[in-house]
Amino acid sequence: MRRMGEPVAGLLLNAAAGVAAWVLLALLAGCAALVPAGGLGLRPLARVRWWTHRLATFQLARAARVLGHAPAEPECDHGRETAWLAVQAVTGPGGALLVGWVLSADAVLWRVQVERSTGLLVVALSVALTAIVVVAAVVVVLLDRLHARLAGLILRPYDTDRVRQLTESRAAAVSTQAAELRRIERDLHDGAQARLVSVRMNLGLARRASDPDQVRALLGEAWESAGQALADLRDLVNGIHPPVLADRGLAGAVEAAALHVPLTVDVDIDLPARPEAPVESAVYFAAAEALTNAAKHSCAQRAWVRLRHSEGVLRLVVGDDGRGGADPRGTGIDGIRRRLSVFDGTLDVRSPAGGPTEFIVEIPCALSSQKISPS
């Protein structure tokens, strides 16, 4: 009985709210009609809107209880609240009338049972009466949930946290891309471009020189500068999208990164296929940054890398047995977070004093390309 009490109370409340919706709609129309007449309807219109907002708040809170959702304050959106009033004005009283119509059939059958109380007829009518009561109870429960869903659909505020998160991740992506372009421009200007200018100057001097020894010296300098320019360009390409990622996939690239740090690194990777290239790049740089931090700052002797894909989530764990105490808001870690936020990824840093330290990266993604075996 207690379980049925709430839907019945909800039916009555929705009917009352429907009547109130008719009144508020009439008042809104009347006040709006008076606004052109010197603004006479502005103050009463604001008051009616306030009452509309209060009623909408009450209905949304009740809808949250019925559906088991977290309570939410509706945004003060007059258009949406007026639309809800129009819906409530029809569905609120309409639901009560529907249940009343079902129960009226029950009353008719009861009267027939009383007036013609023969044995077989009494049994048949009793079964019919019970069925109608059950149907009425089901209708009451369904109507209560329907009203709750309609109120939530119309009045529930948009997922502002998700919108804010997407806005921040987009801004972070734009900022990261701009910083990356500035870095590339700076590296080209200060590195490869300067080396190539030096090559051209040395070749020009060698072209005009008459002393064979001087020519050989100038050509030797040009050769050294050209080699350094190639090394700078190779480092620049590795910083954008390492060729090892394209050649050997994420697994091979992470294993290669582990070989370049002066630590004993235990690598355990199980990927049945490859993620998309941008996701691979983000995870690779996260792993490389974490391993570099372990080698530079943690005083560790051993590190480990675990990479798995399960239930639509790519999970990377990079840990070390160092002294711990890593700052989760450090510049390098913040850069990793910005890279991952573009893909709705997260970075969790666990580094108690005394160690161990673990960087846990999770990115929701699907595996698409076929696996490339490391060679």
pLDDT, tens digit, 9 for 90 and up, residues 348-367: 888 888 878 888 999 888 88
Q: Which two tokens stand for residue 112?
A: 């027939």
pLDDT at residue number 159: 53
pLDDT at residue number 306: 92
Is residue 304 very low, low, confident or very high in pLDDT (cuts 50, 70, 90)? very high
Among 360, 356, 340, 339, residue whose Cα is nearest residue 290: 360
Angstrom distance (rounded) from CA 215 to CA 292:
43
Q: Where are the domains of the chain?
A: 2-157, 161-240, 243-370
Instruction: Kindly report the average pLDDT of the chain as a whole number.
Output: 76
Question: pLDDT higher for 246 or 46?
Answer: 46
Half-sphere exposure of 277 (CA within 13 A, CB side): 8
Q: Is the pLDDT of residue 209 over 50?
A: yes
Angstrom distance (rounded) from CA 279 to CA 273:
13
The whole-number average pLDDT for the span 39-58 is 80
Per-residue pLDDT tens over the stretch 308-323? 998 888 999 998 888 8
- Cβ atoms of 248 and 372 within 8 Å: the answer is yes
The whole-number average pLDDT for the span 61-65 is 79
Strand-pair partners of 267 = 305
Task: Tell whether the torsion through CA atoms of 134, 139, 144 and 145 is positive or negative.
Answer: positive
Q: Which of 80-94, 168-182, 244-258 has the lowest mean pLDDT?
A: 168-182
Q: Is the pLDDT of residue 91 over 70?
A: yes
Integer angstrom CA distances of residue 315 from 246, 253, 269, 294, 362: 20, 16, 10, 19, 5
Q: Which CATH architecture has domain 243-370?
A: 2-Layer Sandwich (3.30)
pLDDT at residue number 124: 62
Percent of the chain with pLDDT over 90: 2
Question: pLDDT higher for 21 or 147?
Answer: 21
Is residue 193 very low, low, confident or very high in pLDDT (cuts 50, 70, 90)? confident
Per-residue pLDDT tens over the stretch 114-158? 555 555 555 665 666 677 667 777 777 777 788 778 777 777 665
Angstrom distance (rounded) from CA 218 to CA 51:
88
Q: Which of 39-48, 72-81, 263-272, 280-289 has the lowest mean pLDDT?
A: 72-81
Q: Is the pLDDT of residue 161 over 60?
A: no
pLDDT at residue number 374: 47
Q: Is the pLDDT of residue 112 over 60?
A: no
Alpha helices in the chain (DSSP H): 2-34, 42-67, 78-115, 119-155, 160-187, 193-208, 212-240, 243-259, 277-297, 331-341
Is residue 176 very low, low, confident or very high in pLDDT (cuts 50, 70, 90)? low
pLDDT at residue number 317: 92
Per-residue pLDDT tens over the stretch 274-291? 888 888 888 888 888 888
